[in-house]
Amino acid sequence: MTVIPLRPAWCTVGEQAHVVLTWYSHEGRQLARTACGWLITPSPLDSRLPDAYVCITCTSLHPDLTAPRRDPDLRRGAVLPLGPQQPEQEVMEQATSTA
């Protein structure tokens, strides 16, 4: 089994946005260990879900990471980068203008 430790980062895996801590590879299968404790097999749909549902547990366990922002119409979330020079309101305006 190959273990690939990473910095915690948001990733769509298992058709939901999670904070992924580690990737495992074993006999051609990939698995992701999430901050909320799940060991998840990636889904073929993950790459086509830019607005996947956000794991609330991962959000509360890693508030230091860029938090996913919820779209009230879709009840889904997207991970938006927040820079020190860019206020949150500007990021939200950019996200809604590109949607």
Q: What is the pTM of this model?
A: 0.62
Q: 34 lies in which domain range?
A: 2-98
What total of structural domains would you count in the chain?
A: 1
pLDDT (tens place) for every residue of the chain, 99 residues total:
778 777 888 888 888 888 889 888 888 888 899 999 999 988 888 878 777 888 889 888 887 776 555 444 444 444 444 444 444 445 445 555 554
Measured on CA atoms in the order 53, 95, 67, 45, is the torsion positive or negative? Answer: positive
Q: How far apart, in whole angstroms, are the C-alpha atoms of residue 91 and residue 99?
A: 12
